[in-house]
Amino acid sequence: MHPLAVWLISTSQFRERENEDRLMRRQRDARVREAERARDQHWADVLHRRAEQAAQARAVEKAPAPRTVAPTMGAAAAGCATA
Q: Give mean pLDDT, residues 9-35.
A: 92
Identify the three-state secondary structure at position 68.
coil
What is the distance between the alpha carbons of residues 10 and 45, in angstroms, rounded to a whole number? 52
Q: What is the mean pLDDT of residues 14-35?
A: 94
Quickly state the pLDDT bin for 69 (edges 50, 70, 90). Answer: low
| Distance between CA atoms of residues 22 and 30, nearest Å | 12
Return the minimum-mean-pLDDT range out of 19-23, 28-32, 43-47, 61-65. 61-65
82 touches 75 (CB < 8 A):
yes
Mean pLDDT value across residues 26-31: 94
Mean pLDDT across the chain: 83
C-alpha distances in Å from residue 37, one per residue of 18, 24, 30, 44, 50: 28, 20, 10, 10, 20
Is the C-alpha dihedral spanning 49, 50, 55, 56 positive or negative? positive
